[in-house]
Chains A and B, each alone.
Chain A
């Protein structure tokens, strides 16, 4: 076993679209060796509209290698079983907003892991929301 991720997308927007099902094994950059480090599975509860660092790269206990094949999975799981799909949390890198993760939504994104490229989270409202996330990376 290794670290694997499988995505399945179905949609009836366009007639004839057959959907997408793809798997990947998370490997180190430029070879087929399994990725070797993880932040572990974590949660972060947010109750204000302030931007916070979800991941502060310089604070990782195992130093990530820069600009290779790191990835992060993030999911907005709402709070205490209540998931509001009409509001969300903007996920960003450094000062750049990547996108708004609505209640129940998930994302899988590559990362640079450069110290300055922290992963930020900015809730749209002060309603409590919980993000769960796990980062996979190469040890420097």
Chain B
């Protein structure tokens, strides 16, 4: 089986004692404990200000699993991308920020959309998923 693992280490000194959390997971297909995600897209794009863009063009069906990694590689900390899903605002990624979510591309309107602010943002993304077939041209 294909194997994709995602690990995180989170530390903070905002509490009275330092907090440190580490986690690692193997990304599996929906509803299974034995078969890993086996498809992926990986890209790096410039995102100009003005319009909202769908980050991922393809739309896996609701019964499939997906994981989305997204990082704003802009070096200017005032730049950010605003992220929405199905018109619901999720949040902002400023220059240097990343996110990792179990994306639910549950319908055609569920694609994750991004909008650049401040200037042209540089975006790196990776979508790990299953079950996509190409559409005939």
C-alpha gap A111/B42 in the complex (Å): 24
What residues of chain B lie closer than 8 Å to A90, measured between beta carbons? 104
Q: Number of A interface residues, CB 8 Å? A: 68
Min CB–CB distance A113 → chain B (angstroms): 8
**Which residue of the partner chain, among A26, A38, A108, contacts B8 with CB atoms under 8 Å?**
A108
Query: Quick check: B7 and A8 within 8 Å, CB to CB?
Result: yes
Which of under 10, 10 to 19, 20 to 34, or 35 or more describes the interface residues of B? 35 or more
Query: Quick check: A7 and B8 within 8 Å, CB to CB?
Result: yes
C-alpha gap A43/B37 in the complex (Å): 28
Query: Quick check: B7 and A102 within 8 Å, CB to CB?
Result: no
C-alpha gap A93/B89 in the complex (Å): 8
What residues of chain B lie closer than 8 Å to A22, measured between beta carbons? 71, 98
Question: Could you say which of A29, A36, A100, A106 has the most chain B C-beta atoms within 10 Å of its C-beta?
Answer: A106
What residues of chain A lie closer than 8 Å to B25, measured between beta carbons? 104-106
Question: Given the interface contacts A13-B39, A102-B65, A106-B25, does A27 sit within 8 Å of B4 by beta carbon?
Answer: no
Min CB–CB distance B113 → chain A (angstroms): 12
| 0/1 string, A61-99, CB within 8 A of B gives 1 | 000000111110101000000001111101101111111
- The chain B residue with its CB closest to the CB of A84 is B33
C-alpha gap A30/B80 in the complex (Å): 8
Q: Does B23 touch A at the CB level, under 8 Å?
A: yes
